[in-house]
Structure 1
């Protein structure tokens, strides 16, 4: 039996080599992420596997899919996790190097209820993590993560006989065939596939070609876990600018950007303009509304307020629900409401019915966008963007804030905004009409503008987004004159300014 994990082990010591290291802060709201070496060691990963296996047995399961992303240590992490799962009596089906949506697809393809994908997504090299689930297409939320955390940190492991490893061949091929089956282009398109040297580079170019894209140009599609140019994060300005430059240089019709584990998608149109995923979701929803009247769409609290006032969605009886940011929350809410699709500003798209299987998949999002362009022959993506009502939305700004402190900071800010609202207060001359608190504070103003402050679920950061219905200058003012001074010295340096 493994010893109970510790949080105080120091690398290059005897204890570190013989006991599991697991920092409690690595257990997030809907997945787990640690700095490998200083916050978790291989024995700690083995303890995580044993704890996860103990928990899925509590749920009445024993079979699980595992995969890993392309980092120097991810294969070793997966092997340690697998050893722990097998010690818990689990039958582990290893699909090899994969994207997160490949692992989610494998749950359907292999008829296996549980999944553990070793990935730190777009986090900088040095991070590792695991995305877990036991009810396809859902992944764990706070309750499940809290139970796994409790088992692991208290050492309440249950070892069982019957552990088994099954190596699965060809899962990536079957996943790509499934995604590509959703669209067959009949118009010629030149598409940039930007991968940021992450794992998507091994799959995205092939996947787009299978969809009938006449010319696919890979951008930073070579696998390199040091991420030499920028992190594979389609919400990051560096990646979006590289995509825009490539569109202009190649005369492409659009660019797709995929994150490190391929479950997110960013888009740049034919004019080199970055379309954030919430507004790309609105473009998709407008196109889908006549085909699916009365459909429900779920969007996260970071998303544009244009969903709530869109005349096309209203004309077709469509409903929009704002919900918590986070892939697990959006998946769960979309499934609960039977939504046609869910959209998260960070680039997670959740397509249901004929559009997808309900899990977040960057290539499924790309397929839906390509199918939309095929239905609108002669129309450019920039035309669809320009048809949207005007709103000026910031990039996501993420000032540093320790994991131990970030929720307390956000609780303070939420209370301040609630008190201001209750007192009939205003922001930059506009009355506050609502404070949505399902995830931090989204403060709605009388002209449709809004500001958001919430805690990041997977990094030591506070998340800030602002949107103005007036102008770029007003959007900057909402950040510089309202949110930034309100946060003040309670947070650290910002990853970017506007």
Structure 2
């Protein structure tokens, strides 16, 4: 009989005691190690025979699996990759990433086999990353996981999220799938994964399936990240091809009558890449097309993001870009987020254009090309934006918060025969039907630049901001947060109870003058905000919007309440067209709903209370 040696590997943070299949094994282990079993620990016995073979008596514990499941962030994966955040521990570890990448590889292979009706070989997957300093070690884990699954891997190096998707389509690359490693605008300590096939980004339910498979792998695996790969990743320069793709679009659509190859000659354009992945747009797109990019900011990749958060919604990013545009009398300023799936712009007068203004600008461009088209946005956009779109002959469909929800709604409307060319969320995520329904910040800017050049060729000396000069801004706008008082595992259920109670109060008429808002243009579908065809993930992110009227039945604003997908809190967005309207609606929400319904007992609504009393946040 082969001799054996026994070792013990503790797995911390479990919620069960360990159990063993054989009493002798348990007795021997206790005698040898005098180990005290804690109610918060579990163990895995590793038995090594003289032949070198390792067998595991695995104890799969829910909490270990939940570590992976909690990394799901809607249709992405995100977590803490580096120490340095107060109150947060590192959870996006190389072993976790390897398990997720392996599960994604297996998922892709299975999907392709089902699609083709036969076994598949040589499935190809590319990986790109933003400049975060955790990218190198986590990339090794991704490649190891994909190799475990049997995929061939290709390293794009520093890349953008839209480029990763395009690597599945543009020849000669045309990979079967792609992963982008990024945490968007979040701090340098964070990182994450975004997944693509040739059909686009994965949905939340698909990512949930992958994370669930990865959770089982992670809980059962006792090895470190694989260091031996059957086929090392092949490095490819895809960004050069992607930049040429963008340049060709600008040249072909501008079709400049004098200098076709340099249609941006005579334009000065400032780019603020925020030390993310967007610098390529300056060097490989704008400069190559003849633009003057002097004065551009933070183009060199730096994963510590030393200057400001790479985010078009960040006030510092916008202020610095605005100053650069005015100082250089530039024609346009561009602000990219880290992975360039979002962007914002500054016009030649230094006016920041993001949020509703950016949606309005893109709507004006798209409606010129596609009169009467439908434009889908999230439900936080203003009543003024709806008027802006409808005044130009378009239709406005208000939908659930979450860029994936908004894009998917546009896809479904097109499938139902409703022409929908633009889907855009107030955060800056925007997708166009003509661009594979991909949220691509660089492509959005390309559309704006093309329109800017066309305006000049038509004899206009006005900047791009003139297209939205008649967009009115809401008189008042506010966002408040209520933290859910509960253990983390019960927070989602508690939040759902609050949201549904809010809906019931309105439907039962307990909030006088409040009515559930279906859609800015209800002909599109029966109640876009509450769609029976929603995915389970969309339904799980409970949210409702209510129109609020005064005693004279005059509409004074709206209230949108939603449960955060990522954090244990509830967000309340309000807009009003009358002075003091947001404070008035907040008082009604506090006094007539929170206090009467009893829902306030499960919430920290101090922010709501303060605004109701003082009419200000600070």
When the two structures are superposed, what TM-score results if normalisation uses the length of structure 2? Answer: 0.68
**Residue 262 of structure 1 is aligned with which of 337, 340, 343?**
340
Residue number in structure 1 paired with 2:175: 112
Instruction: Give the 5 Å matches for 1:417-432.
Output: 417-424=502-509, 431-432=514-515
Instruction: Give the 5 Å matches for 1:126-275.
Output: 126-136=189-199, 138-155=200-217, 164-184=231-251, 185=263, 188-204=266-282, 206-275=284-353
Q: 1:230 to 1:443 in 2, by over 3 A?
A: farther
Cα distance per residue 1:450-483 (max 9 Å; x no partner): 2323234456664443323346x645x3686567
Distance 2:10 2:210 in 1: 13
Distance 2:585 2:112 in 1: 48
1:308 aligns to what SS in structure 2?
helix
**Residue 83 of structure 1 is aligned with which of 144, 147, 156?**
144
Q: Give the unaligned 5+ runs of structure 1.
A: none
Distance 2:359 2:12 in 1: 41
Shift of the alpha carbon at 1:51? 1.4
Distance 1:108 1:237 in 2: 36
Distance 1:327 1:163 in 2: 37
Shift of the alpha carbon at 1:433? 5.0
Shift of the alpha carbon at 1:364? 0.6
Cα distance per residue 1:429-467 (max 9 Å; x no partner): x64352645651222334373232323445666444332
Q: Give the unaligned 5+ runs of structure 2.
A: 1-8, 15-42, 45-57, 59-63, 83-89, 114-122, 222-228, 252-262, 415-419, 519-528, 531-538, 550-554, 609-615
Cα distance per residue 1:374-396 (max 9 Å; x no partner): 23332223322322134346476
Please state if 1:370 is matched with 2:449.
yes
Distance 2:233 2:320 in 1: 40
Cα distance per residue 1:189-215 (max 9 Å; x no partner): 332211222222344454333455344
Residue number in structure 2 paired with 1:440: 543
Residue number in structure 2 paired with 1:56: 108
Instruction: Give the 5 Å matches for 1:289-300.
Output: 289-300=367-378
Shift of the alpha carbon at 1:267? 2.1
Q: 1:479 to 1:407 in 2, by over 3 A?
A: farther
1:370 aligns to what SS in structure 2?
helix
Distance 2:287 2:488 in 1: 42
Distance 1:186 1:201 in 2: 18
Distance 1:53 1:7 in 2: 28
Q: 1:146 to 1:469 in 2, by over 3 A?
A: same
Distance 2:359 2:277 in 1: 24
Distance 2:405 2:498 in 1: 22
Is the deviation greater in 343-352 or in 394-403? 394-403
Tell me, yes or no, if the aligned pair for 1:64 and 1:112 is still in contact at 8 Å: yes
Report which of the two structures shows the higher radius of gyration computed on alpha carbons.
2
Q: 1:262 to 1:186 in 2, by over 3 A?
A: closer
- What is the root-mean-square deviation in Å for CA atoms of aligned residues? 3.6
Instruction: Give the 5 Å matches for 1:304-343.
Output: 304-310=382-388, 313=390, 316=393, 318-338=394-414, 339-343=420-424
Distance 2:190 2:268 in 1: 34
Distance 1:5 1:315 in 2: 65
Residue number in structure 2 paired with 1:36: 81
Is the deviation greater in 219-228 or in 444-453? 444-453
Distance 2:463 2:105 in 1: 49
Distance 1:371 1:484 in 2: 48
Instruction: Give the 5 Å matches for 1:387-466.
Output: 387-392=470-475, 394=477, 404=489, 407-408=492-493, 410-424=495-509, 431-432=514-515, 434=517, 436-437=529-530, 440-446=543-549, 447=555, 449-458=557-566, 462-466=570-574
Is the deviation greater in 83-92 or in 384-393? 384-393
Q: 1:64 to 1:190 in 2, by over 3 A?
A: same
Tell me, yes or no, if the aligned pair for 2:269 and 2:330 is still in contact at 8 Å: yes
1:181 aligns to what SS in structure 2?
helix
Is the deviation greater in 249-258 or in 259-268? 249-258
1:60 aligns to what SS in structure 2?
helix
Distance 1:28 1:195 in 2: 24
Cα distance per residue 1:342-383 (max 9 Å; x no partner): 111111121232xx3321111111111112222333222332
Distance 2:511 2:284 in 1: 51
Shift of the alpha carbon at 1:32? 0.4
2:547 aligns to what SS in structure 1?
strand
Q: 1:57 to 1:186 in 2, by over 3 A?
A: closer
Residue number in structure 2 paired with 1:351: 432
Is the deviation greater in 253-262 or in 197-206? 197-206
Shift of the alpha carbon at 1:50? 1.4
Residue number in structure 2 paired with 1:73: 134
Shift of the alpha carbon at 1:108? 0.7
Q: 1:165 to 1:396 in 2, by over 3 A?
A: farther
Shift of the alpha carbon at 1:52? 1.3
Distance 2:12 2:605 in 1: 25
Cα distance per residue 1:370-429 (max 9 Å; x no partner): 1222233322233223221343464766677697566345424422431332243558xx
Q: 1:67 to 1:340 in 2, by over 3 A?
A: same
Distance 1:461 1:60 in 2: 39
Tell me, yes or no, if the aligned pair for 1:67 and 1:96 is still in contact at 8 Å: yes
- Number of residue pairs aligned between Structure 1 and Structure 2: 476
Q: 1:484 to 1:215 in 2, by over 3 A?
A: farther
